[in-house]
Every structure is written in C-alpha cells, then in structure tokens.
C-alpha cells in the first residue's frame, strides 16, 4: 500500500532510570561566548527539540560506553552543546561555555521487557515520552540546565536513543550535522569530516536585548505535555513509498503552468498534497482561511551565503494563505504553485526585511503564529537520518518526540527503505486524523 498506515500498539515500558551523569569535552577549551542572533532568538519560548532513534544490538553497556567516549570527543568542536544559555551585561542572550560547567546530561535507563520492533510500529510517539528527556521543557530553561540531554534506554534487543536539543541554539540542519559527526567518531574516524562553523554573527550581527527570564526550576509546570492536555491531538506516521511519491509528483507536473515556472519539486508536490488533504479532513467552511507554513533553511539564501556547516538556527518561517474553497476547487497545481512561489520569493532581501522588522519589535514565537488552520512543515527528507551509524548499524527508525507538536505540525523524514520514500509524521485533532485515514486519495489506494 502506497501510504501504509502504521498500527498503534500501546504497552507499558516499565522503564527504570539506572544512572545519570554528565559528559564534557575531553579536552579543556576555556571560556567561550557566542551571541545568539535574530535567527535564534524567536525560539526561546519553543520547547527542546526531541529526536528518537532505535538501534538493534545486544551489548548495551558497550554501546553506552562507546557513545559517551565519542560524545566527549565530538564536544570539542560542538562545545556549545556542553554549555548553557546566559546574558551579557546588556541583556543580550548568548551561549556560554566554560570548562567547569556540567556538560551534556546523559541518562541511562532500562525497559528490557520490550523489543525494538514493538516500539517502531507505534502510531504515535506520545506513548514513547518516557524514552526522551525534557518533555515540556522550554528552551529558555537552558539558562539553568544542559543544552543537550541524551537518554539511552536498554531494550530487550537493542537501544533507544532519546535526545533533547535546545532549539534556541540550533536548528535541524545543525542537529543532524552534530549527530553525523558523533557517529563518525564512534565508528572510528579520527576526526569529523565537516567541523561546525561557529560564528553566528557572520549571518546576523544585530544585538537584540530581550527581557525574558526562565520559569523557576521548581515553579508551576510550563509543559505542553501532561500539565496541559487540551486540546487532544493524535500523532501518526504515514509512509509514502517511492512509487507513491513519484505518482504525486507526476500528477502535479502533468499540466505545467504557462508562466514558465520550474517543475514542482518533490517537497512542493508532497507538501501541497498533504496541505490539500489535511484541509479537506478538517471539514472547514469554503470561506475559512488555511495557511501553509514551512520552516526553510536560509543558509544558501542569505547574502553572503553561509556554509552548510553553520552551527545555529538559520531558518525562517515562510507562509502562504488561501481560502479553503479555492484550495479544494482547484487542481493540485494550484496549491503546489502557491507553495513554490512563496519559497522562491524568500530571497536575501526578504530575509533581511523580516529580520529588521523583528528586531524593531521582537516577538517570541508561539505555535499559533504558524497561522490559522495551518499545515506547518519542519524537518526535511534531505536530512540523512538513516546514515547515523555509531558502529552497530543504521537506526531501525527515526522519529520526533512530543515537544513542539501542535495541530497541523508535520515532520518529514526520508523513508528507511531509501530511494525516494518519505515518512510523513503528522499531528492533528483526532476527528480530522480519522477522516484523513479514510481518505484513499491521500493514501493513494486503488
């Protein structure tokens, strides 16, 4: 089936935490300070970005030891992740590192009654919360806790690696660059192939003072998890095979527009397909508006362009909006063209104007800022997440945690089977998700 539906399987993990420690860079680095810039600051009130990778393997203790040693090595270059958030004397946020800081938090746990395969078929990552640290923790709390936490859980036949990265410090591109580098070191490489580019001010040097402080460590919960369970949302992974992706792409490119614009890319074809079908599943009125949002990598869009290895956030949200009736009445090319035009128009000039506007009146992002009845895409099928091999094989599955999930949020990952397959990890209100599951046009069923 082209859009294979993954069956939900809830089971108690019976998880026990067995150890907590911290890992620092293996060599002294001294005191370092890195100003957070306009691309970073809006994410201070988002939550830690959570990733979850499952590996098969029998030697849990050996795997943990190798991961910790490799982490100490890779943190020499990526030492910002072993630091914390702070402010300078003028109130400008920055990443601070010093050798006496705690470093990265590493949690070890056991849930060895459950196998990797039992967990990789789960419909939702919400029942996997126990495997990932820092659920419901704001990035701002990086002022008094590590900027990276790793939980390594022993399963019956493998290891679950749950990670929480402070999103004010880095975006998806930097996250997977770090993971790739860590895996290279663990696999025996003497050095990383692409050291991080650490000077954020080369992308934007404006100093913006923000009057923000983190919640008290033991204050009221600020969670987007259990403390605030409404509205109820469901998360589901829809797997689109290479042939399904080809079909979506060829359909949308059947009647090329007469204005001479380029053929629609895989991303434009798939994301507009999801936008149309999710909007239909929501049972909205024709006059309602719907927004498509993509968090786009701007490394090559800014002037001068930044290297792919730029470490930090270099993303901006790109929006396009239309009426529900127009989206449903027109063929797929209509939605794909809107997405394409919005992305192509987001050049260095637009990025600069958006930054200047934000710097004049700083606004910390909230989920509702993604737009009304939105479909918002984060992550990218271009991230080589299944190449993260620490020396015991590729991950069985790669997922996001429950943080930063809201109604309409989508994470795209390459499918494990490779080729052009793509996994669409989608969060929706339960009724809409149920209707989407029955939509044969979405799943491309015969």
In this prediction, residue 255 has a pLDDT band, given cuts at 50, 70 and 90, of: confident
Question: What percentage of the chain exceeds 90 in pLDDT?
Answer: 80
Residue predicted with more confidence, 255 or 321: 321
CB atoms within 10 A of CB 362: 16
What separation in angstroms does the CA of 284 have from each of 281, 327, 372?
8, 11, 11
Q: With bands split at pLDDT 50, 70 and 90, how would you rate the model's confidence at 4?
A: very low
Tell me: the pLDDT tens digits for 92-125?
999 999 999 999 999 999 999 999 998 887 566 5
Q: How far is CA 260 from each of CA 257, 266, 338, rounded to the nearest angstrom?
A: 6, 18, 15
Whether the predicted pLDDT of 223 surpasses 90: no
Which tens digits make up the pLDDT trace of 311-327? Answer: 999 999 999 999 999 99
Does 47 score more than 50 pLDDT?
Answer: yes
Which is more confident, 304 or 14?
304
Residue 205: is its pLDDT beyond 80?
yes
pLDDT at 144: 96
225-229, 320-324, 349-353, 355-359: least confident range:
225-229
DSSP 354-396: HHHHHHHS-----GGGG-TT-EEEES-TTS-GGG--SSS---S
Confidence band (pLDDT; 50, 70, 90) for 161?
very high
For 418-446, what is each residue's pLDDT tens digit? 899 999 999 999 999 999 999 999 988 64
**How far, in Å, CA of 5 to CA of 112, rounded?**
27
- Where is pLDDT greater, at 215 or 392? 392
Which residues, other chains included, contact 183 with Cβ-Cβ below 8 Å and sequence gap of 6+? 70, 387, 388, 389, 390, 391
Q: Catalogue the active-site residues.
A: 167, 389
């Amino acid at each position: 089936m082209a859009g294979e539906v993954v069956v939900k399987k809830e089971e108690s993990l019976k998880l026990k935490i067995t150890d907590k420690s911290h890992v620092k860079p293996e060599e002294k680095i001294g005191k370092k300070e890195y100003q957070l810039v306009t691309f970073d600051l809006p994410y201070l009130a988002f939550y830690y970005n959570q990733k979850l990778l499952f590996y098969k393997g029998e030697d849990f203790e050996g795997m943990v030891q190798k991961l910790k040693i490799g982490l100490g090595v890779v943190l020499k270059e990526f030492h910002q992740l072993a630091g914390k958030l702070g402010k300078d004397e003028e109130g400008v946020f920055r990443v601070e590192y010093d050798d006496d800081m705690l470093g990265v938090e590493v949690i070890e746990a056991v849930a060895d009654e459950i196998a990797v395969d039992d967990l990789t078929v789960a419909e939702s990552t919400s029942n996997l919360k126990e495997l990932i640290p820092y659920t419901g923790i704001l990035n701002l709390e990086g002022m008094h806790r590590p900027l990276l936490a790793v939980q390594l859980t022993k399963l019956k036949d493998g290891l679950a690696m749950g990670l929480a990265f402070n999103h004010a410090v880095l975006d998806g591109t930097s996250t997977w660059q770090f993971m790739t580098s860590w895996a290279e070191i663990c696999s025996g490489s003497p050095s990383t192939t692409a050291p991080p580019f650490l000077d954020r001010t080369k992308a934007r040097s404006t100093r913006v003072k923000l009057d923000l402080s983190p919640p008290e460590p033991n204050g009221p919960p600020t969670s987007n998890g259990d403390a605030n369970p409404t509205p109820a949302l469901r998360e589901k992974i829809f797997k689109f095979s290479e042939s399904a992706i080809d079909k979506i792409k060829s359909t949308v490119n059947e009647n090329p527009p007469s204005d001479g614009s380029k053929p629609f890319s895989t991303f434009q074809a798939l994301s507009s397909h999801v936008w149309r079908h999710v909007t239909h599943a929501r049972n909205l009125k024709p006059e309602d508006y719907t927004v498509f949002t993509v968090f786009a990598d701007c490394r090559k869009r800014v002037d001068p362009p930044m290297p792919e290895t730029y470490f930090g956030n270099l993303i901006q949200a790109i929006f396009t909006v239309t009426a529900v009736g127009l989206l449903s009445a027109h063929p797929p090319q209509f939605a794909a063209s809107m997405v394409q035009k919005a992305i192509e128009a987001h050049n260095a000039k637009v990025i600069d104007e958006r930054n200047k506007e934000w710097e004049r009146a700083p606004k910390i992002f909230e989920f509702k800022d993604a737009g009304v009845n939105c479909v918002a895409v984060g992550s990218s099928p271009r991230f080589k997440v299944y190449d993260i091999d620490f020396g015991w094989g590729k991950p069985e599955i790669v997922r996001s945690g429950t943080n930063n999930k809201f109604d309409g949020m989508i994470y795209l990952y390459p499918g494990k089977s490779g080729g052009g397959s793509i996994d669409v990890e989608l969060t929706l209100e339960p009724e809409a998700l149920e209707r989407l599951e029955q939509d044969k046009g979405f799943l491309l069923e015969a």
